[in-house]
Chain A
Amino acid sequence: MAIAAIEILDLEKSYLVGFWRKRPKLALRPLRLTIEEGEVFGFLGPNGAGKTTTLKLLMGLVFPTAGTARILGMDMDDPRVKSQIGFLPEQPYFYDHLTARELLNYYGQLSGIPSKERSARVEQMLARVGLSDSAGIQLRKFSKGMLQRVGLAQAILHDPKLVFLDEPMSGLDPMGRREVRDLIQQLRQEGKTVFFSTHILSDAESLCDRVAVIHQGELRGVGKVAELTSETQGKVEIVFYANAKKVPAALTALGAESRFGGGNMVNSVLPEAQQEAALDVLRREQLKLISLTPVRRSLEEYYIQQLRPAENEEIANKESFKKELRQEASRKGVGV
């Protein structure tokens, strides 16, 4: 049986907050999650959801209140784990007195890369992230995008089996994001496991095999991207050319919601049951059909669906609090 790359076993984290009377604040509710070897796994959630806390726990930067995790079959505290994993923190900051080459060399030393291989490996990484020409410049003169590239280079410098990336696309321009996406694809082809957190859903949809959604420190859902986005919504989308800027009334009567695209192109969404009737309308009106596709759920819709219960709960809590206040006020005879 293959060993899971990451096995998170009820990992939990709470912090003490408050100045005088300290009380625990839950940052991560017991989390149970398994990531298989060779997977590209997306950890999705809004800011403050618990993504970075989870990554920090796995990196040993913060200590769990309860639970544990196994990484590459070893206990997360096992010192051998660190030589087989790479980590890119969110908005990384590096020793800015060093040049990119010096920094990678330093990390290579700490990772135990033999000196004979180190220089070649450093140059290879610099070339891979497109920084060969800037390798001799101190990092204090680097842009945010360049720092992110250095961050990626240091994360994969020692050829780790498992790479953790915390918001790797954050703050990057479209070109930079594309380069990061390409790099993750390459890592997948090399058989590495990639665990990355993001709130950019289009990136997750195009890159990940599986995703998990976390919100308010709680795991809301896990699934394969292909499955999550394959569910149809009982609707179809018909794209066709209209004769003029006018949608046939018969189509609207079938319940179609239409909008004009470029030129006379029309996108109409209507119930799947009306598909044949709609095609008949197009034939009758002699309109040119371009495409007919079932409407599938996007990752964004899945994501929002997972977050919604929490929002509803929040609203319900606020409402019940207001109600309690009103009741309390009416008991005391005070208006609220």
Chain B
Amino acid sequence: MNSNVTGARIGYIAFNTFREAVRDRVLYNLIAFALLLSGAAILVGEISIDIERLVVVNLGLTAISLFGVVIAIFIGIGLVSKEIDKRTLYTVLSRPVRRWEFVVGKFFGLTGTLVVNTFFMALGVFLALVYVAHKFEPMDVWVLAALYFIVLQFFIVCALALFFSSFSTPLMSAIFTFALFVIGNLSEDLRGFARVTSGLGGALATLIAYAVPNFSALNVISQVAHGDPIPGRLILYNTAYTLLYSAMAISGAVLIFQRRNLK
């Protein structure tokens, strides 16, 4: 079996996952987002002076992140477990499809859905920016960097949801993933705490600080809202970090799923 065939199969599974999300009306969240953003833009335009851009960028990007994380968790935890429960997996795995191809295909299907979702939401944010500021400013380009980091965040959340769902129940998987998302957003504080703590407690804090996903580094919403530039080095670091972290979580999910009996 060559890599082209493997790649094609992963692509087919990913596309089917994307199609399922679209037909199950996952993208309907865009309507809620559009209502939220347009309402906020109108309100901000009337009550604030000179901080319209700050409010729109902050609110828009935070909403994109939260909407996406909720979708990533709630669909991610069911990506494989739902297929086992409904037994749709049986007719897939009785074909020349390897289990790891299935897991990876499902992962890309969900992340693909989130990328499309983010694209439309981002379009909304830029429209709102034009509405409140009547023009684009050079610093708006950093909003794109923040959006890219949000997408990277989704990759890690999807991979974690997939990992937890490979051995626990959907409810527990959702709790674990959400907990890691919250802790991961505090990872810079955890690292700071680890630096000033010594002994066993320090070692433990360091271990936890570096084991949880570093979502702090992926959150630059406040910076770009104030128009601060994003260093190229951070973009590179975050890209490499996300690839590595997601790959590790998916590998864990694959290792568990490879040995699992499908009852």
Interface residues of chain A, those whose CB is within 8 Å of chain B, are 15, 56, 59-63, 79-80, 82-83, 85-87, 89, 92-95, 97-98, 106-107, 109-112, 151, 154, 158, 164
Contacts and interface: CB of A to CB of B under 8 A. Distances in A.
Contacts of B87: 89, 92-93
Contacts of B90: 59, 61, 87, 89, 92
Main secondary structure of the interface of A (DSSP, over half): mixed
B5 A87 contact: no
Contact of A83 (B12, B16, B96): B96
Nearest to A140: B23
Given A95-B20, A110-B9, A59 B259 contact: no
Q: Pick the most buried of B19, B23, B96, B98: most chain A CB atoms within 10 A of its CB.
A: B96
Contacts of A92: 87, 90-91
A257 B97 CA distance: 60
Nearest to B23: A97
Contacts of A93: 86-88
A109 B101 CA distance: 14
A171 to B, nearest CB: 15
Contact of B94 (A59, A79, A95, A97): A59
Contacts of A94: 88, 91
B175 interface: no
A89 B24 CA distance: 25
B249 to A, nearest CB: 24
B154 to A, nearest CB: 22
Contacts of B86: 93
Contact of A59 (B5, B24, B93): B93
Interface in B221-263: 259, 261-263
Given A56-B262, A87-B90, A87-B91, A97 B96 contact: no
B123 interface: no
Q: Which of B88, B90, B92 lies at the interface centre, i.e. has the most chain A CB atoms within 10 A of its CB? A: B90
A95 B262 contact: no
A320 to B, nearest CB: 33
Nearest to A157: B95
A147 to B, nearest CB: 12
A97 B24 CA distance: 8
Q: Classify chain B: how many residues form its interface, as a range.
A: 20 to 34
Contact residues of B: prevailing secondary structure: helix
B263 A97 contact: no
B1 interface: yes
23 contacts: A56-B262, A59-B90, A60-B93, A61-B89, A62-B261, A62-B262, A89-B87, A89-B91, A94-B88, A94-B91, A95-B16, A95-B20, A97-B19, A106-B16, A107-B91, A109-B9, A109-B12, A110-B96, A111-B95, A111-B96, A112-B96, A151-B91, A158-B95
Q: What are the 7 A-B residue pairs with the smallest beta carbon separation, nearest first? A: A87-B94, A97-B23, A62-B261, A82-B96, A61-B262, A109-B12, A89-B90
B108 to A, nearest CB: 15
Contacts of B261: 15, 61-63
A80 B1 CA distance: 9
Interface in B64-121: 86-98
A110 B95 contact: yes
B263 A62 contact: yes
A85 B92 CA distance: 12
Contact of A61 (B16, B93, B97): B93
A82 B5 CA distance: 14
Pick the most buried of B1, B16, B94, B97: most chain A CB atoms within 10 A of its CB: B94
B207 interface: no
B43 interface: no
A98 B20 CA distance: 8
Nearest to A81: B96
B8 interface: yes
B2 to A, nearest CB: 11
Contacts of B89: 61
B20 A82 contact: no
A59 B93 CA distance: 8
Contacts of B96: 79-80, 82-83, 110-112
Contact of B88 (A56, A86, A87, A95): A95
Contact of B1 (A61, A79, A154): A79
Interface in B118-172: none
Nearest to B92: A110
Contacts of B88: 93-95
Given A95-B88, A110-B12, A82 B263 contact: no
B93 A107 contact: no
